[in-house]
Amino acid sequence: MSEPAPAGNVFQEYFINVFRYKYVQYQGRARRREYWMFCLFYTVLELIFVALFAMGLDTLGNYLSNIFSAATLLPSVCLGIRRLHDIGKSGWWILVFYGIIIVAAFILGFSVAAESLVGLVVCAVALIANIVVFLVFLCLDSQPGENQYGPNPKTASGEITETLI
């Protein structure tokens, strides 16, 4: 399927189209706007599920949240990879990011069980450093021109194709 022209509907353009046309597409590049708009809509929908949970619809909110999280896992990871490609970084950096989180969670579990303050501090520092580095990567501007991952999605024939919201 080819990607459609921008729909004019921001929700469809940056959230729905990721599912319809880029569900597991890890090749190519994704602009900052595409990444952060997807994150915004994901967060808003998760907050709706939390609201359902808070209104006493525990089971419904929990099921919907779990199904939604499972359905968005692959597109989120692929979008993160494409965002890294846009700044000229390998998509394997996402494995480093998630790997540090998994290892820290594993160590944290043993540290809490063993009541080890050193383990807690090491995990906290590793997680904070990991998040800061990844956020810096995600906030960097696109690499100008074409890179090894494809053409700059910001430009077409040297012209800016979109304006900021």
pLDDT score of 136 more than 50: yes
Q: Is residue 61 part of a domain?
A: yes
Whether residues 49 and 35 share a domain: the answer is yes
Tens of pLDDT along 35-77? 999 999 999 988 988 888 888 777 777 888 889 999 999 999 9
Tens of pLDDT along 83-115? 999 999 999 999 999 999 888 888 877 766 667
Q: What is the pTM of this model?
A: 0.80
Contacting residues for 106 by C-beta, under 8 A, at least 6 apart: none
Domain total of the chain: 2
Closest CA to 40 of 19, 70, 10: 10
CB 86 within 8 A of CB 143: yes
Tokens matching residue 55: 């209104």
Whether residues 65 and 95 share a domain: the answer is no
Whether residues 82 and 127 share a domain: the answer is no
Compute the distance between CA of residue 116 and CA of residue 106 in angstroms, rounded to an integer: 13
**Percent of the chain scored above 90 by pLDDT?**
37
pLDDT score of 165 more than 50: no
Q: Is residue 158 part of a domain?
A: no
Whether residues 117 and 83 share a domain: the answer is no
Query: What is the domain range of residue 29?
Result: 8-87
Q: In the predicted model, what is the mean pLDDT of residues 27-42?
A: 91
Whether residues 37 and 93 share a domain: the answer is no
Whether residues 115 and 81 share a domain: the answer is no
Whether residues 83 and 128 share a domain: the answer is no
pLDDT score of 162 more than 80: no
pLDDT confidence of 156, banded at 50, 70, 90?
A: low
Beta bridge partners of 156: 159
Whether residues 64 and 108 share a domain: the answer is no
Q: Is residue 151 part of a domain?
A: no
